[in-house]
Amino acid sequence: MQIKSVLSSKFKTCSKRKFKFRPTFKSENSFCVSNSISILVSSCAHSLRSGSAADEILVKLSKKGGPVLTFEIRTPLGPILQDVPVSVLSAIRLAECCEPENESVTGFTLPPLAKLHTVIDRMKGLGNDLEIDAEIGEEKADLSLGVHTDMVNVATMYKDLNRATFGAEGQSELEPEAFERRKAVVDRRNFSRCLYGHQLQPKHAICFVFQNSVMVHLMGSWGVTVTYYIPKRLSLH
């Protein structure tokens, strides 16, 4: 995934501890061509914290009555072993976790997520169809978020947001256009949930409207990125 913005900020990548992977678990599912697993973040974080002062951490996927990740934490005082239960994903389950293939599009940065979440939350008594309407120029974008029903029309406007571009690996970069308009209707509750990402204190939050979904991409302050995909509703009101 390649995301470019007109912002001049430089993004730094976080340093990574060296890990070695030696899978010893053989999946019995004939649909799996590789071992893909699901793990509780809290359990994994506990094991990694235990090895914060280790010289090396060896992670092995093994079978001990069930699939587990064995963390062999090598310290000057000797190795420490911790087993974390995992679930081995089939190819079908793994496909549900993959990013959808999307065309190259232009997008825009979002306003501060905490304040935006408060605004969207106040619309919950009006309806669940949230209309996103963005007018994107060569460098800036204007955004309208609203709920429109037979009884009421409510919208909030944000001006002078930065323009951003999205392109998959291998796709050519988009040529800036003088004006583009992107519209979508999504479930207000789903959009509100992704705004909880403000707790990650992202440097930037960027929104892209695709043919079948809306993507919200959060760029964290310490090299962590989170991407939400929100399905579009069938039609505009």
Residue 5 lies in a domain: no
- pLDDT for position 9: 31
Whether residues 29 and 119 share a domain: the answer is no
Whether residues 191 and 120 share a domain: the answer is yes
Q: What is the mean pLDDT of residues 125-142?
A: 91
Whether residues 47 and 76 share a domain: the answer is yes
Distance CA 57, CA 68 (A): 15
Q: Which domain holds residue 149?
A: 101-231
- pLDDT for position 11: 29
Whether residues 227 and 114 share a domain: the answer is yes
Whether residues 30 and 140 share a domain: the answer is no
pLDDT digits (tens, 9 = 90+) for 43-102: 888 888 877 777 888 888 888 888 888 888 888 888 888 888 888 877 777 776 666 666
Whether residues 93 and 151 share a domain: the answer is no
- pLDDT for position 199: 87
Answer for the pair 73, 54: CB distance below 8 angstroms, yes or no: yes
Whether residues 89 and 130 share a domain: the answer is no
- Choose between 170 and 110: higher pLDDT: 110
Longest dimension (CA), the chain: 71
Last residue of a domain, one of 46, 69, 97: 97
pLDDT digits (tens, 9 = 90+) for 180-221: 898 999 999 999 999 998 888 888 899 998 888 899 999 877
Whether residues 198 and 217 share a domain: the answer is yes
Q: Could you tell me the pLDDT band of residue 144, with boundaries at 50, 70 and 90? A: very high
Flag whether pLDDT at 6 surpasses 50: no
Residue 6's alpha-carbon distances to 10, 109, 145, 163, 215, in angstroms, are 11, 10, 23, 6, 18
Q: What is the mean pLDDT of residues 224-236?
A: 79
Whether residues 79 and 191 share a domain: the answer is no
Q: What is the DSSP letter of 200?
A: G
- Choose between 135 and 98: higher pLDDT: 135
Domain count, the chain: 2
Q: What is the mean pLDDT of residues 37-44?
A: 82
Whether residues 124 and 71 share a domain: the answer is no
Whether residues 152 and 183 share a domain: the answer is yes
